[in-house]
Structure 1
Amino acid sequence: MTERRPELNSRRPNFIFIVADDLGFADLGCYGGRDAKFGPVSPELDRLAAHGLRFNEGYSNSPVCSPTRFAMITGRWQYRLRGAAEEPINSRSKGSTTLGLPPELPTLPSRLRAAGYRTALIGKWHLGYPPHFSPLKSGYEAFYGPMSGGVDYFSHCSNTGAHDLFEGETERHDEGYLTDLLSRRAADYVRRMAGPDNGGGAAPFLLSLHYTAPHWPWETRDDAHIVDDVKANLFHLHGGNIHTYQRMIHHMDEGIGWIVDALRETGQLDDTLIVFTSDNGGERFSDNWPLVGGKMDLTEGGIRVPWIAHWPAGIAPGGVTDQHCLTMDWTATMLDLGGAAPLDDCPLDGVSLAPVLADPSACFERPMHWRMNHRGQRALRQGRWKYLRVDGHDYLFDIPADARERANLGPRQPERLAAMRADWEAWNASMPPIPEDATVSLGYGAKDMPQR
């Protein structure tokens, strides 16, 4: 007997948009990840997937952090913004008036806020530094977390040694493991949204929960003693291992369980769309099987990431879909379900996935384009086919048949390759060019790590 799928609820849902940092495609159990020595790595996320919808072919807008976040908050190609040409934004942009998210630009939180939502960001911002840029200038009512990319999990200092934990635009000196601080803050926010602070749940809410886990430095909840060692090199090039990495994911997973518990306790779980994804593909300890490459690459391992959606009132349990989609499609979906008014002068590039949430088999064609300053990379996914350029060499892959991108079919199908190259070039011509002064920062230090 086929289980009847629920109709999308007429009540506008709450949104919890959870983004991991540098999480690999197969790091979670529900994506085929291996158990750790201590047991399952991600039981809470696996449970959300089992009772919700899992996407097999969800992609990030970029293989590196900041550009994906520009697309995620605007619902538009990140290439439209100067700040997103930095791969990624780093501490050298402090004081810049251009390397950040322009406050006047419509965003997911500002548009939902205009539609009656409460809004908060708990976690990583990484879209420019005060005084010119900040979450509070771009639609969030509340913010708690780091402004930069990677910070130490205990000292909360960035790679420059500067303290980087804020509430609003004021420094906050809280003791504790950062992943746990973010999780507890998020669970507390959920409870407050059901209480008198929000009229007993009168208004729906958007909670953006952007973890730094499992981004370097490689520190678990029990590793406070290595803080001094990490201060000398936050990239932690000589540290970490697969066991530490899996434990970091598990700590994040535990925290997500605390948030689900808070939703359940306050009667908000059924009417909350929880979305989980990663900002890009995995780093050095990630499991991307069967994909190749990782962060900084436009091969599948750099851009195909976990996508999970859980919403009891609007998504039937146990669903799996092969719908092609990009990070900014979640933005379009939330604006759609939240009843945000369209903006003629700032149209979305993302596409609403609401029909797929209601029926996972209702897939539609979704061409996806990428470009990357690093190694002159470009890519186009169109149906089963992928066009890829790296270091001046063009490739054509049949992804369902060759997820590891090992059989270049370009020489056998030159017409298809030429057509996809022309398609990519036409799309690229519609985007602003990459500025000559844009830089690439590999995140782990190009001089210290081998190039892929």
Structure 2
Amino acid sequence: MAMRNVVRQFLVGCLLVLGSVATVAAEEHPNVVVIFADDLGYGDLECYGHPEFRTPALNAMAAEGVRLTQFYVPTPYCAPSRGTILTGRYPWRHGVWRNPTPDAGINDVGLPPDELTIAELLKDAGYATACIGKWHLGHRSEFYPTRHGFDEYYGILYSNDMRPVELIENERRAEYPVVQATLTKRYTDRAIDFIRRNRERPFFLYLPHAMPHKPLAASEEFYKQTGTGLYGDVIAELDQSVGQVLAELKAQGLDEQTLVLFTSDNGPWFGGSTGGLRGMKAVTWEGGLRVPAIFRWPGRLPEGVTVNAPCGTIDVLPTVLSVVGLPVPDDRTIDGRNLMPLLEHGQLPADRPLFGMRRNRLACVRMGRYKLHVHTPKGTRYMADASKWIDPRGPDGVTILAPFEQYRPNQYPGLLTGDAPVDMMLFDLDADPGEQHNIAGQHPEIVVFLKAEYDAMLEEFPPAIRQLQRR
């Protein structure tokens, strides 16, 4: 806590040299909007190749901005990924490497108080801040978004299938049980209201939607209206939400003062699409770790550009700080780097390793075109007996209110083909993005090189987590 206060005082002092923090003008310090979908697959959007789902707003966002094709999260599941996008740090640094889960009794996991989030750094610089949607970085009061730099919070503190599913407004229960069909609309309305109320000052809006995490639910305007099933209905409403937020920025004259990022926390669940990648949510194949990402900033970023360089959510915090003119904290390791040179000018960054974690283990490392799975990539546990699977967290009409026609394991979202999983698998992702052919035997020198990068990062693990590493 003491160190965090020192950092805060330093950042505020820098701003005081330029003028009063209380009177920071929006035109001098750009707004930032991060829209974070839940379990949205790499192939779930029309602009990423989905053959049926229509996403006109996100198509337009990509046409007006920069679309990334190799954007990674650090884990193929929720909470650690959310900690990383807000801190710029891998899970083994920010401390959330597993999911807080109230109905499984995992209540002591949350983002530590000495972690610095984008919201904290921008709030201290005079920004209005709001988190609207899924938090999943701790559901005890000491972990709440309002304790991590957000002026306002409205949403579910964890996944929308974890009981009790309840809406929290700031720090109090606002609704139980939750009518999930109206979640996307309500989150969008709240986001628009926040933009309107803060149009005269700089703001940071973090909009982590519930959808398309199961149980899928859509409002009457979209339910059974797209002809592409419940998943397609949900995607269509999510797309409309993005369009409404962008339209509000334009209506308020803030379009050219606002950086907007749309991305996802991990790969898809059943019914979604990885766009031809292997695996899905919960596994470290590309289908679990590679997600769509679109950056848009009219007048600042180029239009209609596709970037193929590997990068990820670790880069969001340093990119945002660069945009708003704040220094990156130097009292801790920030794993990400500023992407603005890449986004603005296409300047390819130097190669660096990107790491993936699953449960308590560092699982894989990507660098350049190659990816090494040090540990055997696991399949989903539901596939062995898919026909008899019953979701214990499915809609019940009492505690979880959502349509009963949810997707099942036979509607697998990614490739199930390819060489059998073993330890130390190597793939050339430029030639083989679907991870079908293990080339470790053909390139032992690359295996050795990537394993050395893996081992070096493992040495940076806190001792308590390093001791949990198991074969």
Deviation, 1:289, is 2.1
What is the CA deviation profile of residues 196-235 of structure 1, one whole-angstrom value per residue up to 9, with x for unaligned ones?
xxxxx1x21100000010000022223999xxxxxxxxxx
- CA-to-aligned-CA distance 1:155-178 (integer Å, 9 cap, x gap): xxxx32x24101100111386610
Superposed CA deviations along residues 45-77 of structure 1, whole A, max 9, x for unmatched, are 110000100011111121110010111111111
Find 1:321's aligned residue among 302, 307, 311: 307
The residue identity in structure 2 corresponding to 1:55 is L
Aligned counterparts, 1:323-338, within 5 A: 323-338=309-324
Q: Which residue of 2 aligns with 1:167?
A: 169
Q: What is aligned with 1:218?
A: 216
Q: Is the 8 A contact 2:63 2:304 kept in 1?
A: yes
Aligned equivalents of 1:222 and 1:257: distance in 2?
A: 18
Please state if 1:362 is matched with 2:333: no
Q: Deviations over 1:2-27 (max 9, x none)?
A: xxxxxxx9843210000000011011
Following superposition, the deviation at residue 345 of structure 1 comes to 1.4
> Superposed, which structure 2 residues align to 1:205-284 within 5 Å?
205-222=203-220, 243-284=229-270
Matched, 1:112 2:112: no
Deviations 1:89-115 (A, max 9, x none): 21157794x410122321110011112
Which structure has more relative contact order (CA 8 Å, sep 6+)? It is 1
Runs of 4+, deviation exceeding 4 Å:
92-96, 433-439
Q: Contact 1:321–1:361 (CA<8 Å) still a contact in 2?
A: no
Equivalent residue for 2:451, pick from 413, 416, 421: 421
1:11-410 to 2 correspondence within 5 Å?
A: 11-36=28-53, 40=54, 42-82=55-95, 84-86=96-98, 88-91=99-102, 96=107, 98-151=108-161, 159-160=162-163, 162-173=164-175, 177-194=182-199, 201=200, 203-222=201-220, 243-373=229-359, 378-391=363-376, 393-410=423-440
Call closer, same or farther: CA 1:245–1:183 in 2, change over 3 Å.
Answer: same
Separation in structure 2 between the aligned mates of residue 180 and residue 121 of structure 1, nearest angstrom: 15
1:335-370 deviation digits (Å, cap 9, x = unpaired): 121122332212411111011121125343232012
Q: Gapped runs of 5+ residues in structure 1?
A: 1-8, 152-158, 195-200, 226-240, 440-452
Q: Is the 8 A contact 1:277 1:307 kept in 2?
A: yes
Q: 2: CA distance between counterparts of 1:389 and 1:327?
A: 22
Task: Work out whether residues 377 and 388 of structure 1, in 8 Å CA contact, stay in contact via their aligned partners in 2.
Answer: no
Amino acid at match of 2:44: D
Query: Alpha carbons of 1:129 and 1:49: their partners in 2 closer, same or farther (altered >3 Å)?
Result: same
Higher mean alpha-carbon deviation, 69-78 vs 241-250, is at 241-250
Q: What's the TM-score once normalised by structure 2's chain length?
A: 0.79
Distance 1:301 1:145 in 2: 27
Counterpart CA distance in 1 for 2:369 and 2:466 is 34
Q: Structure 2 CA distance, aligned partners of 1:223 and 1:28?
A: 20
Counterpart for residue 6 of structure 1: none
Give yes or no for contact 1:295–1:301 (8 Å, CA) kept in 2. Answer: yes
Output the CA distance in 2 between the equivalents of 1:95 and 1:45.
36
Distance (whole Å) between structure 2 residues aligned to residue 117 and residue 432 of structure 1: 33
Identity of aligned residues (%): 32
**Native 8 Å contact 1:314 1:357 kept in 2:** no
